Amino acid sequence: MTPETQSRNTRALCELAPVIPVLVVGDAGRAEGLAAALVAGGLPVLEVTLRTPAALDVIREMAKVPGGHVGAGTVLTPDDAKRAKDAGASFAVSPGLTERLARACEEIGLPLLPGAVTASEVMRAMELGYSMLKFFPAEAAGGAKSLKSLAGPLPQVSFCPTGGVTPRNAPDYLALPNVVCVGGSWIAPDADVAAGDWQAIETRAREAVALT
């Protein structure tokens, strides 16, 4: 799967909803209920970060939910990518991009949404064939104003900004011509996940859908 094809696939996923929930889940027993609530609320694309020992099991459980598209976040190495795909991830998200990671995703057929924030990083990703990127850490890297400035010289690249995105600033990002969707962690707070309050999470998901 070439980087060009990967970007077509990740862009299609990003176009399904205005927000991709970024999830750090430590209990695989909560995974299926959480994914079902998010999908029911209108957010079918889910990013499970590889930041907990349970992350791969969480991906396996979430992949069972009809209508969902579960990806792995914080994919840093070829081994991360392989383990994520083996667990059922349909895409991968990385905070940056290396040639080794790009080659690995090409070889195993896993669509990658790589990160870039500077013009040079974006141009490097373009050289490798990527046109759909993650802008991370969005707020720390200058926020919507910084991302807007990239649209002028690099209009052929689209982004999913994550990192510091909230319900208050998400509309600023979504209004940009080079933004397809945003990624956010506010939709599934730890307290609601721990309590199994799926209704609260579904309600928050519906509110996120209405941000456009």
Predicted confidence at residue 74, as pLDDT, reads: 97
Q: Residue 19: is its pLDDT beyond 90?
A: yes
Residues catalogued as catalytic: 47, 134
* Mean pLDDT of the region 115-127: 97
Report the predicted TM-score, pTM, of the whole model to 2 decimal places: 0.95
pLDDT band for position 14 (cuts 50, 70, 90): very high
**Is pLDDT of 212 > 90?**
no
For range 2-15, the mean pLDDT: 98
Q: How far is CA 105 from CA 77, 162, 177, 187, in A?
A: 10, 21, 28, 29
Q: What is the pLDDT of residue 196?
A: 94
Mean pLDDT (the chain, rounded): 96
The pLDDT value given to residue 162: 97
Per-residue confidence (pLDDT) for residue 83, from 0 to 100:
97
User: Tokens 């399904």 correspond to what residue?
Assistant: 16
Question: What number is the average pLDDT over the span 121-141?
Answer: 97
Cβ(158)–Cβ(176) under 8 Å?
A: no
CA 121, 122, 123: angle at the middle one, nearest 5?
90
Instruction: With a cut of 80, say whether residue 62 has pLDDT above it.
Output: yes
Mean pLDDT, residues 146-157 taken together: 96
CA triple 88-63-158, angle to 5 deg: 80
Residue 73 has pLDDT above 90, yes or no: yes
If you count them, how many residues does the chain have?
Answer: 212
Spatial separation of the C-alpha atoms in residues 113 and 7, rounded to whole Å: 7
The Cα 14–Cα 131 span in angstroms is: 13
Helical axes 3-14 vs 99-108, angle rounded to 10°: 80
Average pLDDT for 154-160: 97
Q: Does residue 52 have a pLDDT over 90?
A: yes
The pairing of strands 19-23 and 182-184 is parallel
Give the pLDDT mean for 87-91.
97
Average pLDDT value for residue range 146-159: 96
* 152-156 average pLDDT score: 96
Would you say 9 and 91 are in contact if contact means Cβ atoms under 8 Å apart? yes
Torsion from C-alpha of 55, 59, 61, 67, nearest 10 degrees: 150
